[in-house]
Amino acid sequence: MKKLIQLTSLTILLIFASGCSNVLDSLSTTTTPKINQSAPTVNYSSIKSLPDMTSIGFEWQKVDDPRVIGYNFYRTEISKGETTLKLIAKIDSKHATHYVDRELEPKTKYAYQISSRLSDGSESPTTEAYIAETLPRIKPVAFAQAISNLPKKIKLLWEPHPDQRVSYYRVEKYNTTLNEWIYLATINQRLSAEYIDTGLSNASKHKYRVKAFTFDDVESAPTNVLEAVTKPAPKSVSGVKASNNIPKKIFLTWSASPTSDVVQYEIHRSSYESFGYKKIATINASILEYTDELNEDGLKYYYKIIPIDKDGLDGIFDIPAIKGETLGKPTKPNLTQASIQGGVAVLNWSSSPRAVSYIVTKKTKQNFFQYKSTKFENISGTSFQDSDVVSGIDYKYSVQSVDEFGVVSESSNEVSLTRK
């Protein structure tokens, strides 16, 4: 073993300046080899190496001695200042003249020593220290960018890596919750140079980086941090108004959204202010009004007007609603007098504020179960006389008011009259 250390020290002194030799002079092994000084050694000058990023291939001249059954490979990592030689491989054939040391670090310097191994378990003195260095990592992706203002997505673009050893790319995204970079996607093929991150929130900021990987899964340094923001939702409309005085319909108007690329508006309606909204119409952005045809009196609804932009993004839904109503029925009259006078039915009632005319409904009893109804319309005053009454017949009268739009009130109280 003393001989092994002496040979190593001598070699290092010949090859390196004093700064490196101080480290290598103290090399030792993790095991205690059984050294046979008479065993033939590997010819140091025959050793050749071919480095890659994470491996180094070796070639040497076979030791042509019948006692030799194979070779031992020792290694230490100079770049880390290691001082212990480790047995990394036992080659079981003396005819083997090649070995590849794998899973190394890129751009790292290693020292190797080789011995021939005999059948009795002993080995020859090692060669002088052979210095080899792995190749540096591939360069990072040269150019990359993240594109902002896309709807619910961010697009990443980068320049295809010129190194033909590149097999794929890995996209990583910064997780603000975990405060760390996480894996997002693998992009196969060197010439593929884009990725789209979808399903994002509106107006949200995201950070990315891209790494290139070789066919041996050796990664490059990441790109600079790429930042982008998704497109914001279109801004809400303003000045929404809803009518409350139009018969059987509600008329809506509003001022346009200030967002320039709004292409349409959705009208949402509910019977309740806080929930239950359903879309009832979609109209072109050039139109700033809508008529909700309801064909019923006194209906109340709540409305929200939602802008939609050219990319299909909808505006914020959590906005105040506006209440609209169809015109309610006019107040029903109150029959204040009903009597038979001189064979004539005489009716009087109170006036209704919106009424322009009244309808009197007369029900004539036909039998025990049935009445025949007759309507007298367009009565301008608040009284009515009916001379078509027959003795012994039961009659029922009620009154409804009618406004200028033809909206009819509920019926007044009903009175019964019988001519004696």
Q: What is the largest CA-CA distance in the chain?
A: 156
Supply the pLDDT for residue 31. Answer: 59
Q: For residue 330, is it within any domain?
A: no
Give the percent of the chain with pLDDT over 90.
88
Q: Are residues 251 and 344 in the same domain?
A: no
Supply the pLDDT for residue 15. Answer: 33
- What is the pLDDT averaged over residues 162-189? 97
Q: Are residues 12 and 108 in the same domain?
A: yes
Q: Does 420 score more than 70 pLDDT? A: yes
How many domains would you assign to the chain?
A: 4
Q: Which of 196, 229, 262 is the last residue of a domain?
A: 229
Q: For residue 96, is it within any domain?
A: yes
Q: Are residues 9 and 55 in the same domain?
A: yes
Task: Label residue 33 by pLDDT band (50, 70, 90).
Answer: confident
Supply the pLDDT for residue 30. Answer: 52
8 by DSSP, 3-state: which?
helix
Q: Which of 82, 111, 133 is the last residue of a domain?
A: 133
Supply the pLDDT for residue 12. Answer: 34
Supply the pLDDT for residue 84. Answer: 84
Q: What is the DSSP string of 301-317?
A: EEEEEEEEETTSPBPPS
Supply the pLDDT for residue 369. Answer: 83
- What is the pLDDT averaged over residues 235-240? 97
Q: Are residues 156 and 249 in the same domain?
A: no
Q: For residue 33, is it within any domain?
A: yes
Q: Are residues 119 and 176 in the same domain?
A: no
Q: Does 163 score more than 50 pLDDT? A: yes
Q: Are residues 108 and 195 in the same domain?
A: no
Q: For residue 171, what are the domain limits?
A: 144-229
Q: What is the pLDDT of residues 320-341, one digit of tens each?
A: 999 999 999 999 999 999 999 9
Supply the pLDDT for residue 333. Answer: 96
Supply the pLDDT for residue 16. Answer: 32
Q: Are residues 116 and 11 in the same domain?
A: yes
Which one-letter DSSP state was computed for residue 79?
A: G
Q: For residue 205, is it within any domain?
A: yes
Q: Are residues 110 and 6 in the same domain?
A: yes
Supply the pLDDT for residue 79. Answer: 81
Supply the pLDDT for residue 319. Answer: 96
Which residue is listed with tokens 């045809």? 293
Q: What is the DSSP string of 335-398?
A: EEEEEEETTEEEEEE---TT-SEEEEEEEEE-SSS-EEEEEEEEE-SSEEEE----BT-EEEEE
Supply the pLDDT for residue 278. Answer: 98
Q: For residue 278, is it within any domain?
A: yes
pLDDT mean across residues, the chain? 91
Q: Does 52 score more than 50 pLDDT? A: yes
- What is the pLDDT averaged over residues 358-373? 93
List b or e across 176-193, with b for residues whose CB sees 16 or more CB atoms inside 10 angstroms. Answer: eeeeebeebeebeebeeb
Q: What is the pLDDT of residues 10-22, one digit of tens each?
A: 333 333 333 333 3
> Domain containing 413 — which CATH number?
2.60.40.10
Q: What is the pLDDT of residues 89-141, one digit of tens each?
A: 999 999 999 999 999 999 999 999 999 999 999 999 999 999 999 999 999 99
**The pTM is what?**
0.70
Q: Are residues 301 and 373 in the same domain?
A: no
Which residue is listed with tokens 């990987």? 213
Q: What is the pLDDT of residues 238-267, one digit of tens each?
A: 999 999 999 999 999 999 999 999 999 999
Q: For residue 139, is it within any domain?
A: no
Cα separation, 38 vs 358, whole angstroms? 135
- What is the pLDDT averaged over residues 310-319? 96
Task: Label residue 29 by pLDDT band (50, 70, 90).
Answer: low
Q: For residue 157, is it within any domain?
A: yes
Q: Are residues 21 and 99 in the same domain?
A: yes
Q: Are residues 121 and 157 in the same domain?
A: no
Cα separation, 223 vs 210, whole angstroms? 5
Q: Which of 106, 133, 160 is the last residue of a domain?
A: 133
The single-letter code of the amino acid at 139 is K
Q: Are residues 29 and 125 in the same domain?
A: yes
Q: What is the pLDDT of residues 367-390, one digit of tens each?
A: 888 999 999 999 999 999 999 999
The partner residues of 255 in beta bridges, in order of sequence, read: 238
Q: For residue 138, is it within any domain?
A: no
- What is the pLDDT averaged over residues 283-288? 97
